[in-house]
Amino acid sequence: MAEPLLSVRSLKTYFYTDEGVVRAVDGMAYDLHKGETLGIVGESGSGKSVHALSIMRLIPSPPGKIVDGEILFEGRNLLKLSDEEMRRIRGNRIAMVFQEPMTSLNPVLTIGEQIAEAVILHQRLDKRAAWERAIEMLERVKIPSARQRVRDYPHQFSGGMRQRVMIAMALSCNPSVLLADEPTTALDVTIQAQILELMRELQREFGTAIIMITHNLGVVAEMCDNVVVMYAGRPVEETDVKRTFHDPRHPYTWGLLHSVPKLYERSERLIPIEGQPPSLVDLPPGCSFAPRCPFAMEVCTQVDPPTVSIEAGHAARCYLYTDKATEKDKQAATAAGLAASARSRGV
């Protein structure tokens, strides 16, 4: 495969609080290729959003700090750029769409002004051309009568419409990477489907690579080419979308798949993952999922598991695929994996 467009290497973002050091992102790593959609899945507090803000270098500092790692974008390490160089990448080469469409637009500026602002800044267009670009972008995201609505204020738009505006704004400078931080979480399902469809369409059109941050496996199945499952600030399983659902390997992924309700089968019980995600202040030694893991072995609670490559393009951070696990464990694991995968069909 070609050089990755964006490559995150052992990224660590810590927050230094009074309670101690919160390891929000602790060794995140993946590659993103041109035009690809990468899903980053995990439950609340797993560090998904913090990792996205780290890529944009928008971590509030203090208390936050990127303590280690590399973010290689088009061959340059974003963490080594000056503030000014980074500012020119933000919104221009890497754009971001936020979760909450009701609060991510400035209520006192018209949406046209807000879209044009970034265009004027990055593309060096004059006001008039930027305004035309704003209208064009609103048309692209299918806002009816864009030419009139460009003069409207955010409060005159519904949630779904605002998210379209946000997407228009993010794509207005034709970035090569779009970070979408739970872009559909705050919307109702019918609007969600529209927004996802729109993003897919625009991706085909613009060739933008998308990092889709979500906790919704349905969104992943719908949108993504590859998936990184994140737990307690670390990637626990990475593979393509097909294998995520059909051949999941990490016990946490199984748990996620079991936690999704299926449409037609009421009788089948959901199997929630027991317990809570660990406090990121004092992570347990060893695998951070071990306390909740039904397959936890002794070694799991002692030493952090290595990332095991199961086959080409499929890696899991788990002892089940090392020689530490007994045959019996491995058989039980295979069965559990099959069960989870069976459940996931039809998601």
Binding site for another protein (CB under 8 A): 56, 58, 60, 62, 87-92, 95-96, 98-100, 102-110, 117-118, 121-122, 144-145, 148-149, 151-153, 155-161, 166, 169, 188, 191
Q: Which is nearer to another protein, 56 or 227 (CB)?
A: 56
Integer-rounded Cα Rg, in Å, for the chain is 21
Q: Which is nearer to another protein, 48 or 234 (CB)?
A: 48
Q: Which is nearer to another protein, 100 or 132 (CB)?
A: 100
Sheet containing 76-77: give its strands across.
Answer: 20-32, 6-17, 64-73, 76-77
Residue 170's contacts (CB-CB under 8 Å, 6 or more residues apart) are 91, 95, 96, 97, 178
Cβ 80 to another protein shortest distance, Å: 18
The DSSP call for residue 266 is S
Q: Which is nearer to another protein, 60 or 75 (CB)?
A: 60
- Alpha-helical segments (H) within the chain: 48-56, 83-89, 111-123, 127-140, 146-149, 159-171, 189-206, 217-223, 241-246, 251-258, 327-344
Residue 81's contacts (CB-CB under 8 Å, 6 or more residues apart) are 89
Q: Which is nearer to another protein, 77 or 158 (CB)?
A: 158
Q: Which is nearer to another protein, 145 or 267 (CB)?
A: 145
**Spatial contact of 337 and 249, defined as CB atoms under 8 Å apart:** yes
**Spatial contact of 8 and 55, defined as CB atoms under 8 Å apart:** yes
Cβ 50 to another protein shortest distance, Å: 13
